Structure 1
Amino acid sequence: MKKLTKLLAVLLVLGIMVTGCNNQIKPSEPDKIPVESNEGQENPDNQANPEDEPTINKDLKQVNAIFYSMDADKADMIILDSNSDSKNIILKDEARVFLTDKEVNTVVSLQIKESSKGIEVYNAKDADKATAKAKYIGFADNNFAEFEIMNKAFVLQIPEALKTELEKVNTNELLEITIKTNEIPIANPVLESFKRGQ
């Protein structure tokens, strides 16, 4: 009986040792510093998350444009840069996906690369406003005026506050213009301001 009791005691001790070893909590790795979670909290600096911003490739040029339409991988738009011709604009995947649902006359910001094939657009996003150097052609009617960049004409809506000043501008005069997308869907972009003598 004593042998049986000793055997049971040894088995019980072994069982406690095995069970105790398996249930121990592993110490945290010394290389890893615990990081406090900000989940559910607002960003204290009101900064955008890096994932929200499009990746900027240093080989790509940042320009603004007025988007009109697209067909497969080709787009009809005016690049608002007097050094970039708006012919043969080829949309890469990310830009094509973004522009698929865009309205006519939307002001956009693009990441482009100029090649022998034309202008390749790698990324696109909405632009609050865009500044460009454009030739003033003249009023198209009382509320709209025509401008030109690289021999490509476009029409902007002119707010009442700018009409009198714009009427003083000479035909073919080079202006620095600031434009924005019209709040009315598909309507021409709006001339927000302009500077003469550029």
Structure 2
Amino acid sequence: MSSTRERILDGAAQVMRSRGLARATTKEIAKQAGYSEATLYKHFRDKTELFIGVLHERVPGELAALLAGLGERAGEGAVTETLEEVAQAALDFYGETFPMAAALFAEPELLAAHRSALYAVGAGPHAVRDAVAGYLAAEQAAGGIAAAADPEAAAALLLGACLQQAFLGNFAGDPAAPEGFAARLVRTLSGGLGV
């Protein structure tokens, strides 16, 4: 039997997927989970904390775990293989989360509150780019990529392409990236990195 917290996260994921973060209410989430709002607030401080929980515990994929260990992979294995793993995980993550988060940008006050809450816990979309750029900088220091390469720009190019694919896929009604898309992105990017 699942715990109260687990059922709340399941309910939050369902509501956020169907209504988006901006339109999802804690009342709806509590109802979907089969609890009162008071019970929800015993486990989560606010909707942003719920969203972070959904991202870390209910969105399929390996992006968070992959990024957590990325710095340790510098100098180990092929750069292109690591970047392909990152690209595939980012494609999966963005494809799943884009519909949840997109509506935030239509409500400036909610976006500002969400941004502040994420920054307060050291999270946010910049963390993905920073982790990939950090990995590339470490590879550069180890001689794995060209000294003239720009790790931050390369990370932005790779992840930006993944985010655009998520946008286009969700717009078209099929968020899954085309087969081999991650490998094609990395193959194209690796020329500029001097891999």
The interval holding the TM-score normalised by the smaller chain is under 0.3
Q: Which has the higher contact order (CA 8 A, sep 6+)?
A: 2
Give the TM-score of the pair, scaled to structure 1.
0.23
Higher helix proportion, which one?
2
Higher Cα radius of gyration:
1
Give the TM-score of the pair, scaled to structure 2.
0.23
Higher strand proportion, which one?
1
